[in-house]
Amino acid sequence: MTGFDEKNVLHILGEKIPPGAKRTLNFNLAKLYTTTSVEVPIIIQRSKKPGPCILITAGIHGDEINGVEIVRQVISKKINKPARGTIVCIPVINVFGFLNMDRAFPDGRDLNRVFPGTRNGSLASRFAYQFTNKILPIADFCLDFHTGGGSRFNVAQIRVDPEKEELLKYAQIFGAPFIVYSKNITKSYRSTCEKMNIPILLFEGGKSQISDKDIARAGVHGVIRILHHFKMLSKEHQPPEADGKKVVTIKSSTWLRAKYSGLLHLKITCGDFVEKNEVIATITDPYGSFRHKVKAPNDGYIINTNEASLVYQGDAIFHLSTALAEDEE
């Protein structure tokens, strides 16, 4: 049984956790080749006062350290100690990938493309099934933290389905520098939450295998604001003051791809606003005989940059906004 009974006792993974209790549970699903168990720690903090249950997760992709660092700080700074309700933190969902600094599960599958999973499917699918059925049902609200893949750096952003007005409201409360309209991907964790009627915010920031203090700060501050909104933030913490910058909402965007192979030299910083025809990068050959200027095709914000030193023709090098919300244009 997973859920709360009439005495507000939390039943999860065979454990009974009463109001006011703190508990760390190990979600054990599979073993390494050596038969060593791989356990996913789940940190649960409950208030004696009833309230919502918020699930905070990171590391669905094992090499996305920024998200892990955000949830780690939430725990370390005791932000996860609620004034009411329950906060469940899972800093590393894909422990397999985290051990190897690999995005995928050992079976080669992307865990975020196999939800809600199957009981007897692949390893990733089995894990998703157990997570969906044994952990997710307790949540009233989810925060999931991600990072740009490969060498691509994402500006701190919340991604939401534009048709979900409630989520747009929560995204504004979270207060990341950017909100990006993004449809749910089939078989993703976010898509499963939607089908289960559980509101979820997906945070993106930084790049894989790198911990960035500014990205971590944006993520932690967003968690604090959300908890404050739900009246779950303890008196030990205060919501961070606004930095005066307006949250930019991006309705549509486009990827700019390299027209040539060569060495990539960025001329702007992720998050910058650029003007049409502005030179935002150059691509050169190793021999000093070729230099191509990459120009912005339109005015917009750069929300992702490829920080690789070398690129091939066709590689994505920038993600650029093409339209903002009406009140920001």
> pLDDT tens digits for 244-295?
778 999 999 999 999 999 999 999 999 999 999 999 999 999 999 999 999 9
Q: Are residues 207 and 259 in the same domain?
A: no
**Model confidence pLDDT, tens digit, residues 290-312:** 999 999 999 999 999 999 999 99
H or E, element range at 219: helix 213-229
Alpha carbon separation from 225 to 79, 164, 170, 180, 272 (Å, rounded):
11, 20, 10, 19, 25
Per-residue confidence at 325, pLDDT binned at 50, 70, 90? confident
Percentage of the residues of the chain whose pLDDT score is greater than 90:
89
Gap between the Cα atoms of 202 and 143, Å rounded: 6
Q: Are residues 60 and 95 in the same domain?
A: yes
Alpha carbon separation from 175 to 94, 152, 188, 263 (Å, rounded):
27, 22, 24, 36
Per-residue confidence at 152, pLDDT binned at 50, 70, 90? very high
Q: Yes or no: say if 136 and 193 are a contact pair by the CB < 8 Å rule.
A: yes
CATH number of residue 188's parent domain: 3.40.630.10
> Whose structure tokens read 């244009």?
329
Q: Are residues 13 and 81 in the same domain?
A: yes
Last residue within a domain, chosen from 188, 214, 229: 229
Task: Using the predicted structure, report yes or no on whether residue 109 has a pLDDT greater than 60.
Answer: yes
pLDDT of amino acid 329: 54
Q: Are residues 63 and 21 in the same domain?
A: yes
Structural domain boundaries enclosing 273: 254-328
H or E, element range at 148: strand 141-148
CATH number of residue 310's parent domain: 2.40.50.100
pLDDT of amino acid 35: 86
As given in the structure block, the two tokens for residue 4 are 């709360």
**Model confidence pLDDT, tens digit, residues 58-69:** 999 999 999 999
The verdict on residue 170 lying in a domain is yes
Burial class (CB in 10 A: 0-12, 13-18, 19+), 213: exposed
The verdict on residue 243 lying in a domain is no
Q: Are residues 194 and 294 in the same domain?
A: no
What is the pLDDT of the chain when averaged over all its residues?
95
Average pLDDT over residues 194-211: 96
Q: Are residues 82 and 179 in the same domain?
A: yes
| Helix, strand, coil content of the chain in percent (nearest 5) | 20, 35, 45
Q: Yes or no: say if 311 and 283 are a contact pair by the CB < 8 Å rule.
A: yes
Q: Are residues 260 and 225 in the same domain?
A: no
pLDDT of amino acid 28: 82
Q: Are residues 86 and 198 in the same domain?
A: yes
The verdict on residue 247 lying in a domain is no
Domain count, the chain: 2
Between strands 141-148 and 53-58, the pairing is parallel
Q: Are residues 122 and 178 in the same domain?
A: yes
The verdict on residue 214 lying in a domain is yes
Q: How is residue 247 annotated by DSSP?
A: P
Q: Yes or no: say if 63 and 101 are a contact pair by the CB < 8 Å rule.
A: yes
If DSSP codes are grouped into helix, strand and coil, which group holds residue 196?
coil
The verdict on residue 9 lying in a domain is yes
The verdict on residue 104 lying in a domain is yes
Q: Are residues 165 and 279 in the same domain?
A: no
The verdict on residue 249 lying in a domain is no
Q: Are residues 176 and 62 in the same domain?
A: yes
Per-residue confidence at 83, pLDDT binned at 50, 70, 90? very high
Average pLDDT over residues 3-29: 93
The verdict on residue 245 lying in a domain is no
